[in-house]
Amino acid sequence: SQQGEEDPQALSIQEGENATMNCSYKTSINNLQWYRQNSGRGLVHLILIRSNEREKHSGRLRVTLDTSKKSSSLLITASRAADTASYFCATDAVPASKLTFGTGTRLQVTL
């Protein structure tokens, strides 16, 4: 079963706009990670946020984590056509060490 659920399932925006994706999970976590997957390719790690952190930035990416609500959001600012991909959150639940992935958000950025 999926630990994380992303919302929305699909998002279509124009280049230059911001894209926000949300992830909800069910159990306590050690950390939450976001990954990107271009169509049919392997997943690529974007950012990791630990359970004791509330916000983290990496370039045009901003991730927030609210452990009380068991939710996280990924914001991509000033999106580009090259950002078109599927984005997944992944959680490492206490006490297990496996990473469980959500269902993903398909982002389409048009020119």
Partner 1 sequence: DSGVTQTPKHLITATGQRVTLRCSPRSGDLSVYWYQQSLDQGLQFLIQYYNGEERAKGNILERFSAQQFPDLHSELNLSSLELGDSALYFCASSEGLAGVTGELFFGEGSRLTVL
Applying CB under 8 A, the residues found at the interface with partner 1 are: 1-2, 30-31, 33, 35, 40-45, 48, 88, 90, 92, 94, 96-104
Residue closer to partner 1, measured from CB, 15 or 99 = 99
What stretches of 59-102 adopt beta strand conformation (E)? 61-66, 71-76, 85-93, 99-101
Choose between 1 and 111: whose C-beta lies nearer to partner 1: 1
Considering the complex, what minimum distance in angstroms separates the CB of residue 71 from partner 1?
Answer: 18
The partner residues of 111 in beta bridges, in order of sequence, read none
In the complex, minimum distance from the CB of residue 50 to partner 1, in angstroms, rounded to a whole number? 9
User: With 0-12 CB in 10 A as exposed, 13-18 as middle and 19+ as buried, what is 99?
Assistant: middle
